[in-house]
């Protein structure tokens, strides 16, 4: 199983693979291709760097404490209103 996709097919599914959006069968085909195809593996690593950077950058921002307090106060007022 999963031994016969070419570079073009692997490339077309690369982001979906990295985002874990493929079915197990399709993911296995891409994984098997990346294991034996150095150029595609390198491209996957490049795209992975991009996706990891975006997720990491995003996580550094959180809801400011003041806003959280403001929202909780507004919710409490709303709750008391019934």
Partner 1 sequence: MQPGYILSMAEPTTAGPQFDAEALPHLDALYRVALRLTSDPSQAEDLVQDTMLKAYRAWRQYRPGTNARGWLLTILRNTFINDYRRRKLEPVATDIEAVEPHALYRHVEEVDPEGAFFSQIVDDKVLEAVDALPPDFREVLVLSDMEGMSYGEIAEALHIPVGTVKSRLFRARRQLQTALYQYAVETGIIPARETHHG
Q: What is the dihedral of CA 43, 44, 50, 55, to 10 degrees?
A: 180
In the complex, the smallest distance separating the C-beta of residue 26 from partner 1, rounded to whole angstroms, is: 14
Residues 34, 44 contacting (CB under 8 angstroms): yes
Asked whether position 74 contacts partner 1 by CB under 8 A, the answer is yes
Supply 71's token pair. Answer: 């929202």
If binding means CB under 8 A, how many residues of this protein chain bind partner 1? 35
| Window 8-67: residues binding partner 1 (CB under 8 A) | 15-16, 19, 21, 42-43, 45-58, 60-64, 67
Asked whether position 7 contacts partner 1 by CB under 8 A, the answer is no
Provide the binding-site residues for partner 1, judged by CB under 8 A: 15-16, 19, 21, 42-43, 45-58, 60-64, 67-68, 70-71, 74-75, 78-80, 82
């Amino acid at each position: 199983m999963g031994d016969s996709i070419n570079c073009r097919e692997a490339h077309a599914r690369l982001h979906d693979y990295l985002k874990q959006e493929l079915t197990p069968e399709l993911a296995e085909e891409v994984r098997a291709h990346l294991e034996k195809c150095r150029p595609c593996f390198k491209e996957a690593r490049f795209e992975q760097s991009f996706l990891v950077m975006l997720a990491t950058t995003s996580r550094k921002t959180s809801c400011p404490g003041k806003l959280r307090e403001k929202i909780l106060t507004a919710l409490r007022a709303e709750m008391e209103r019934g």
